[in-house]
Amino acid sequence: MDEERALYIVRAGEAGAIERVLRDYSDKHRATFKFETTDEEKRKKLCEGIFKVLVKDVPTTCQVSCLEVLRILSRDKKILVPVTTKENMQILLRLAKLNESDDSLEKVSEFPVIVESLKCLCNIVFNSQMAQQLSLELNLAAKLCNLLKKCKDRKFINDIKCFDLRLLFLLSLLHTDIRSQLRYELQGLPLLTQILESAFSIKWTDEYESAIDHNGPPLSPQETDCAIEALKALFNVTVDSWKVHKESDSHQFRVMAAVLRHCLLIVGPTEDKTEELHSNAVNLLSNVPVSCLDVLICPLTHEETAQEATTLDELPSEKTAAKETVLKNNTMVYNGMNMEAIHVLLNFMEKRIDKGSSYREGLTPVLSLLTECSRAHRNIRKFLKDQVLPPLRDVTNRPEVGSTVRNKLVRLMTHVDLGVKQIAAEFLFVLCKERVDSLLKYTGYGNAAGLLAARGLLAGGRGDNWYSEDEDTDTEEYKNAKPNINLITGHLEEPMPNPIDEMTEEQKEYEAMKLVNMLDKLSRRADVKDLHQDGG
């Protein structure tokens, strides 16, 4: 009934009536995602009628109402087949200001039309293979990049940027050819990186260092959404970029990694949005060549160095020896390097472990990232070793028992998911400089057996990668307990009582004679067996 009434007004009514009936339809079906099959034909005709209205000279408010209903109807894949034509796609491109002839975005009154047109294109491209092919033919990716350049530094049009980026993400997700076009022809890497810089309001203090205001306000919801969409689009653009081929590539990836470091050190409007933002940053960092991840840490400034010295003087001597401290502004420092971003990644990893579900999707990216960072960058590995595998003192509990990060990772080494347990074991192995004896000290042989068997290291030794030769130092507590540590379980076991100590002299004599008789029987059986063999 709703479709019939709306279709009648759209075909015969004037702009005001069309606007009113479509606004009513939109309000009623705003949350509708499943449609009745019986009204399928009516919805197709309504879509066709709306496109006919959109080519007319109607008020902006009427255009917005038409596009809102079209966005709702485009959630149904079945009705898109007849309405997804080149002409209809071009209508939406024109309304979204994606034609090259549109030089600027000066009319604020047109912004709602642009946003709704982009939303419609997102639904149609996602749900229609024909629209995906037409996107290639119409060179939609290039048009979207041009629109981004127009609104790159203008914060009051965040909604336009957000849905432009979402559409760019969808296109690069659905077409590998568009990924290549974005990367090389359209210079998508620097363009999207600049979008992130704008969203985060980054102020550079050095080539790859930005100013961080720890007391600043969180990102707004609009800025956060824009950043998340840009991160997702960048992930697709860089998904095959594990190796740097040119110096210019290296510079671009370092700039992007520096922006992502800034991203990790800021927060969104809510805790959930912050986690989503950091999750997408982790995914993108996984695409950055590991040689460019050195910008995640940076030397302290002169002011921070002076502050660190003051703080170190206030610490106990045993803490100073560990070369790790927390400055008064909560900056994590290790060996003269700012480790804030790595500490955020470590906390992010622990939160994902604590969730207890979706380990493959949620946990393995950050574990893999930390593993590769540790393998390639000595300071990162040493800091993570200090945080995850501090010198052992209490070895009365099994390595997998407890609430420390080490305990949680050791538990993952026997997880049912092969990928999860492999990457957890690999991370700990790298922190131990791929030395079997060091790994067994922290995990026990039983937990590490799977990794060692896969590496052919059950008999001991070390992995193939080279690490510095600095030695681990054992605590006095560990040295004293070491002779009684069970190598299989990795924890201290009390010596088993000697059963003979509690026997009387008669019982000891009885057990001794019993053993003599058993040995005598075994000896006689062996002699008889030898005689039979000689006779044969």
Convert the pLDDT of each residue in 88-105 to its tens digit: 999 999 999 998 666 667
Q: Which of 18-27, 149-158, 357-366, 381-390 has the lowest mean pLDDT?
A: 149-158
Q: Is the dihedral of CA 275, 220, 267, 236 positive or negative?
A: positive
Convert the pLDDT of each residue in 174-183 to its tens digit: 998 899 899 9
d(CA 86, CA 51): 12
Token duo for residue 397: 């509990």
Cα-based angle 192, 232, 218 (whole degrees, multiple of 5): 80
Going by their DSSP bridges, the two strands 485-486 and 332-334 should be labelled as unpaired
Q: Which of 55-69, 272-286, 458-472 has the lowest mean pLDDT?
A: 458-472
pLDDT score at 322? 43
Average pLDDT over residues 402-409: 94
pLDDT at 5 over 90: no
Which three-class secondary structure string do you get for 79-122?
Answer: HHHHHCCHHHHHHHHHHCCCCCCCCCCCCHHHHHHHHHHHHHHH
CB atoms within 10 A of CB 352: 22
Convert the pLDDT of each residue in 256-281 to its tens digit: 999 999 999 999 999 999 999 999 99
pLDDT at 303 over 90: no
Q: Where are the domains of the chain?
A: 1-138, 330-465+472-492
d(CA 360, CA 296): 24
Average pLDDT over residues 165-179: 93
pLDDT score at 476? 74
Average pLDDT over residues 6-23: 88
Architecture of domain 1-138: Alpha Horseshoe (1.25)
H/E stretch holding 205: strand 204-206
pLDDT at 332 over 80: yes
Max Cα distance, the chain (Å): 117
d(CA 485, CA 480): 10
pLDDT score at 325? 46
d(CA 384, CA 379): 9
pLDDT score at 335? 87
H/E stretch holding 9: helix 2-12
pLDDT score at 455? 87
Residue 42 CB-density burial (10 A; 0-12 exposed, 13-18 middle, 19+ buried): middle
Q: Give the HSE-up count for residue 535: Cα atoms under 13 Å, Cβ half-sphere.
A: 6
Q: Give the HSE-up count for residue 294: Cα atoms under 13 Å, Cβ half-sphere.
A: 9
Residue 450 CB-density burial (10 A; 0-12 exposed, 13-18 middle, 19+ buried): middle
Q: Give the HSE-up count for residue 185: Cα atoms under 13 Å, Cβ half-sphere.
A: 12
- DSSP, collapsed to helix, strand or coil, labels residue 337 as strand
Greater model confidence, 86 or 503: 86
CA distances from 204 to 67, 256, 259, 305 (A): 41, 13, 10, 20
pLDDT at 37 over 90: no
Where does the pLDDT of residue 301 fall: very low under 50, low under 70, confident under 90, or very high at 90 and above? low
Convert the pLDDT of each residue in 126-138 to its tens digit: 999 999 999 999 9
Average pLDDT over residues 166-189: 93
In terms of Cα–Cα distance, which of 222, 219, 242, 226 is closest to 192? 226
pLDDT score at 27? 92
Convert the pLDDT of each residue in 353-372 to its tens digit: 999 888 999 999 999 999 99
Q: Which residue's structure tokens are 């080490």?
A: 406
pLDDT score at 530? 64
Token duo for residue 313: 């003087």
